[in-house]
Structure 1
Amino acid sequence: MKAKHIAFLSLSVLAGTFASCTGSHEIKITGSVKNLDGGTIIYQKSIDGMFNSQSQDTLKLNTDSTFSLTLPSNGYEQIRLFLWGKRYLGSFIADGGNYRLQIDAAATHPISILEGKNEKNMVVSRLMDELGQDVFDVLSRKGDKWGITQDTTATSVSKKLQDAVLALDEKMKGVDEDLYEKACQNTRIQTMWAFQNQLFGIAYRYSEATKQSWLKEWEKMMEFCRVNHPASTFSPAFHEVVYNNAGITYYTKEEPVDEDLKKNPNKLIFHYIEKNLTGQAQESAMALLFLRDANEEKYDPEILPLEERFEQLYPQSKWQPLIDEAIAKNKAFNQAKTPDYIHFPDVDNAKTFKDITDLYKGKVIFMDIWATWCGPCRASFAYVKPLQEYAKANDIVLLYLSIDRPEEDAKWRKMAAHYDLMGEHVRVQEAFKDEIYTTFGNAQKALSIPHCVIIGKDGEIKFKSAASPEDMEKLKSQLKEAAQAGA
């Protein structure tokens, strides 16, 4: 199963009434979709002008492929659309009112605005599109419009990025003041992300003097980009920039901080946010921390007291309903009881992989190599029920081999219960770790997970790279073949 990535590209299609708005009202969007080819469209949206990059909803289509979507609005709000697991479709920014769209999932520019279009704002849209793509190209090393990826001089890199931002500022003039401010801050946050990317790549590979020159320029970029500005929260890259700044502050710059905080990334980031951000920027960054914990299924138990502090700071926050859902998931994960059909055999003394498989002599073993931090692994667990039924009916052992580190032991056990993974659960031991990577990885011992394996009744590997539970028919065929071979 391949990971489904969503890239933070500012490929926006802007529309709106473009008049200053101070009161809350609704955004009503209707439209139709074509060339979906069985796919699903999901969307992300802002909350009171603060973009929520950590939650998504499904765009519900009628039988005739039309849709209707009504969202609350308090000034400009942003809705971003994706063809799930395949591509980014575009964004729609509105200041209340009624809009009509047509979405062609196969088109180069999928979103067409049939009502509500404003030519000047479409120019702004195209400029933001280009910048978002340019930044993503730098991050992914697919392009370098500004010539910064090979530039090790901090002042040179910052000047190139600032010049690009100022040029865009000029080109975007003439639109509504509120939208202009949000668009300008989005360009600053996006380019700050590109600068941070360069800083991380250079700070640990060059001299201490070079590192210090980059940190000095980073502080100047912080002033220029105004991360703490309320409009910065409108950028989909806002949370990435804030969390990166926390890392730069406490790890690269090595600013003193309580060692207890450094033991937990969430506590450290929360501390940074509370100390360095204010108002809307602080509220948004904190809220996204809780939502990210649930979205990435980290379920850090130490995040719970942080949520209590957030409620003290922002008792009327519009983020609270979403945070409540995230915290409920966290509590459910950490309080889940392990059922009797999930086993954790003692393998502390195992020296080889055979020591593990010998525990189940005479049986076919389906093995899933995974890790708690692997998103595609977790996503694959949605397909295990038919496999569990088949394994139970045919006396097949389901063995889940985790490559997590020892410090992740508690989380590993909780996740097995959370996903109701019936079977045997073993965490790879140092004694046979290299054997696992050599046997099931490539020539360089790189192991791609999730990775499925089938072992016969004789203990021999029958399928070194077996079908996954997502392709149950093929997997059944392989399991039957393995059973016959060992008969």
Structure 2
Amino acid sequence: MKNKKNLFGAITLGCLLISCVDNKEIQISGTVRNMEGRQIVYFQSIDGMFNSQSYDTLRVNPDSTYTLTLPAEPYKRVRFVLWGKRELGSVIMNKSQIEVHLDGAAKQSIEVKGLSEKEAEISTLLNRLDGDVWNLRARRGDRWNIAKDTVVASVIAKLKADALDMDEKMKGVDEDLYKKAQQDVRMQLMLAFQNQLFGVEWKCSDATKQQWFDEWKNMKNFCLDNDSNSPFSPAFYDVVYNNAGIIHFAKGEEGAEGVGKGPNELSFHYYEHHLSGKAQEAAMAQLFLRDETEEQNDPVIVSLSERFKKLYPQSAWMPLIDKAVAKNKAFNETKIPDYIHFPNIEKAKTFNEVIDRYKGKVVFMDIWATWCGPCRSSFAYVKPLQEYVNHHDDIVLLYLSLDRPKDDAKWRKMAAHYDLMGEHVRIQEAFHDEIYKIFGDKRGALSIPHCVIFDKNGKVRFSVAASPENMEKLKLQLEEAAKNK
């Protein structure tokens, strides 16, 4: 889901707060309704730091009940999401047992019994804020009337006033919970500010940009991303990742000597020199988990993880980090088998020159990219297609990648990682526009994954072919394309 971000296009529908006693484990039980056959996943905090980058699947019983047992913390945060559809809500708690009922069709999709009046009030405030920040970022709403405001002092004044107003409204709970909620507010509002800064950065004058960059430091000092309670907010990682981007990419400041120019190296460098304590630990840890979740497989992750282990050898994040790094290493050590081919097409001036290589055969083409999550997910269904092709020597599997030249090595490794038998070519500048014009929509936008079938004469027979997920339909289309007409 960039950012994050994002990953499900979620709006927090409930942030429910419960005061309770300390235990080694907590148990959440309840029921689920109206889930449309979809999975429910949950994200949770780790030692007071929210993990927004990796999740687990909720196991639901045949009678639509569930029981979830998790490690306890002084305050535990758990967020439920209906996979690929919507966020169901989150709960903050520190008691041993609670009931949480989930309803995918209800406006208020999470119900927790036993809330005090004040806790319910805070829940409503945080719920509204999370939703309003998402609406601003998605251009679906503007609670603060800042979407078209390019005057940075005006934007900051509105956001700060909202933060201070919410501070007053949230008073009345214990100090630990109050500080966590307070920093959640500030992380969300910093995300709103960053959203506006990024918009100004590409459409305003250099003088206006500089004003925003100058005031960004003031807003950052007000929101305190380095506060020990900030990592408890689901918005925290997006905030610090964006801050690193502002320093190293928007403002163009380089890292120290010996620091690479890749986004993970520069982000890690920023966390190492601008954050401390739990904020630093949470930001660094989630950098590794983000690499795993988004399947970036950046080779520098291994060396960065060694530096993290020296800084936080007893970190509660370590089991997740070790798993993520092991996947990264396995990917980067992948060997390319001889049935995966990378023909040299650098001299091709048109895409027809590529297709002409396979005249006399039916070509099934899958347009994809290493950065495309749905593309990667679709590869789980390629085995039946490969078995079918192995029995039909007049069919070629052609994978056309939209990746840029700088990602050439990653593209080759990913083809092998997913065992994509067949021919692999990467889009060339010479026929880049041609691909988007032929296979894109009327505006030239190309949605991927996108499958195409060519007949034996190199002509497009199905410009939008069935994917391997619908193998029966795909077989019929391949058979049709094989007929000589």
Quick one: percent identity of the two aligned structures?
A: 58
Residues 191, 376 of structure 1: CA spacing in aligned structure 2 closer, same or farther, 3 A cutoff?
A: same
Contact 1:4 1:85 in 2 (8 A): no
2:430 alignment partner AA: A
What do the CA deviations read for 1:333-369 (whole angstroms, capped 9, x no partner)? 0001112221111222222212212222211111001
2:69 maps to what in 1?
Answer: 70
1:127 maps to what in 2?
Answer: 125
1:10 positional shift: 3.6
Whole-Å Cα distance in 1 between the matches of residues 286 and 7 of structure 2? 18
Q: Secondary structure at the match of 1:301?
A: coil
Q: How does 1:280-291 map to 2 (within 5 A)?
A: 280-291=278-289
1:375 alignment partner AA: G
What do the CA deviations read for 1:125-148 (whole angstroms, capped 9, x no partner)? 111010011111111111111110
Q: How does 1:28-427 map to 2 (within 5 A)?
A: 28-114=27-113, 116-258=114-256, 261=259, 263-395=261-393, 396-427=395-426
* Structure 1 moving runs of 4+ over 6 Å: none
List gaps (5 residues or longer) in structure 2. Answer: none
2:334 alignment partner AA: A
1:8 positional shift: 5.2
Residues 18, 177 of structure 1: CA spacing in aligned structure 2 closer, same or farther, 3 A cutoff?
A: farther
Q: Secondary structure at the match of 1:74?
A: coil
1:325 alignment partner AA: K
1:461 positional shift: 0.4
Q: Secondary structure at the match of 2:424?
A: strand
Whole-Å Cα distance in 2 between the matches of residues 94 and 349 of structure 1? 62
Contact 1:4 1:86 in 2 (8 A): no
Contact 1:17 1:97 in 2 (8 A): no
1:213 positional shift: 1.4
Contact 2:20 2:95 in 1 (8 A): no
1:7 maps to what in 2?
Answer: 9
Contact 1:14 1:92 in 2 (8 A): yes
2:19 maps to what in 1?
Answer: 17
1:260 positional shift: 5.9
Q: Which moved more, 1:152-161 or 1:194-203?
A: 194-203
What do the CA deviations read for 1:278-309 (whole angstroms, capped 9, x no partner)? 00000000000000000000000012111100
Whole-Å Cα distance in 1 between the matches of residues 67 and 254 of structure 2? 52
Contact 2:17 2:123 in 1 (8 A): no
Q: How does 1:465-480 map to 2 (within 5 A)?
A: 465-480=464-479
Residues 12, 259 of structure 1: CA spacing in aligned structure 2 closer, same or farther, 3 A cutoff?
A: farther
Residues 79, 165 of structure 1: CA spacing in aligned structure 2 closer, same or farther, 3 A cutoff?
A: same
1:12 alignment partner AA: G
1:105 positional shift: 1.8
- Tell me the TM-score normalised to structure 2 length: 0.95
List gaps (5 residues or longer) in structure 1. Answer: none
1:257 alignment partner AA: G
Q: Which moved more, 1:9-18 or 1:338-347?
A: 9-18
Q: Which moved more, 1:252-261 or 1:44-53?
A: 252-261
1:374 positional shift: 1.1
2:362 alignment partner AA: V
Residues 1:461 and 2:452 aligned together: no
Contact 2:13 2:109 in 1 (8 A): no
Whole-Å Cα distance in 2 between the matches of residues 134 and 327 of structure 1? 36
Number of equivalences: 480
Q: Secondary structure at the match of 2:338?
A: coil
Whole-Å Cα distance in 1 between the matches of residues 138 and 13 of structure 2? 16
Contact 1:8 1:236 in 2 (8 A): no
Q: Secondary structure at the match of 2:229?
A: helix
Contact 1:364 1:482 in 2 (8 A): yes
Contact 2:14 2:108 in 1 (8 A): no
Whole-Å Cα distance in 2 between the matches of residues 387 and 4 of structure 1? 33
Whole-Å Cα distance in 1 between the matches of residues 65 and 250 of structure 2? 50
1:476 alignment partner AA: K
- Tell me the TM-score normalised to structure 1 length: 0.95
1:248 positional shift: 1.3
1:42 positional shift: 0.7
1:4 positional shift: 9.4
What do the CA deviations read for 1:385-418 (whole angstroms, capped 9, x no partner)? 1211222222321100011111111000000011
Residues 316, 474 of structure 1: CA spacing in aligned structure 2 closer, same or farther, 3 A cutoff?
A: same
1:256 positional shift: 4.5
Q: Which moved more, 1:468-477 or 1:333-342?
A: 468-477
1:259 positional shift: 7.2
Whole-Å Cα distance in 2 between the matches of residues 201 and 250 of structure 1? 17
1:467 positional shift: 1.4
Residues 368, 259 of structure 1: CA spacing in aligned structure 2 closer, same or farther, 3 A cutoff?
A: farther
1:212 positional shift: 1.9
Contact 2:13 2:110 in 1 (8 A): no
Q: Secondary structure at the match of 2:371?
A: coil
What do the CA deviations read for 1:401-453 (whole angstroms, capped 9, x no partner)? 01111111100000001111111111112222222122111233221111110
Residues 1:445 and 2:447 aligned together: no
1:219 positional shift: 1.0
Contact 1:33 1:103 in 2 (8 A): yes
Contact 2:26 2:96 in 1 (8 A): yes
| C-alpha RMSD of matched pairs (Å) | 1.7
1:459 positional shift: 1.1
1:258 positional shift: 4.0
Contact 2:452 2:462 in 1 (8 A): yes
1:323 positional shift: 0.2
Q: Secondary structure at the match of 2:44?
A: strand
